[in-house]
Structure 1
């Protein structure tokens, strides 16, 4: 259990490096003006570090008594990695 939490949070930390680049580029979505979709896109990308930190804290608080809850909470930032990271990698390498 502890190994899973440590390894997944190391992955989340490593994903912060490309996240910074993607977050900076995401502001280019405002080139055509402001809109709800643009603001939601940038906010969704910008919330990744907040989600990773909050979920890490909660997962470590739950890891002794509620193991399944700790795993589920710790996997929430994986939604950003799979939802944004994988498609961006696919687009860049195809």
Structure 2
């Protein structure tokens, strides 16, 4: 399980590079003015690194206490952002 956590942390670290580009481009939602939709998009995109850090800390903290399946689901929560972005890009 320790090997899995190290690999997933490295992948999350590498995913912060494209996230930074996407975060910078997300400010274009305000080109037509400030709206609730634009604010919600920015909040969702901006929360990705927060989710990565919190889930990483929790998965390492609970590594000894819980089963490996629980640790997998805790560490996979930030993948929701990645899967959603991939679905939007493929469907768009």
Distance 1:70 1:15 in 2: 20
TM, length-normalised to structure 2: 0.89
Q: Rate the CA distance shift 1:89–1:13 in 2: closer, same or farther, 3 A.
A: farther
For residue 76 of structure 1, what is the aligned residue in structure 2?
Answer: 77
1:77 Cα shift? 0.5
TM-score (norm 1): 0.87
2:63 is the counterpart of 1:63: yes
SS of the aligned residue for 1:65 comes to coil
Q: 5+ unaligned residues in a row in structure 1: which ranges?
A: none
**Runs of 4+ residues over 2 Å off in structure 1:** 87-91
**1:89 Cα shift?**
5.4
Equivalenced residue count is 91
Q: Deviations over 1:40-92 (max 9, x none)?
A: 101100111110001000000011110332211100001111111x246548x
- Of 36-45 and 62-71, the range deviating more from structure 2: 62-71
Q: Structure 2: which 5+ runs fail to align?
A: none
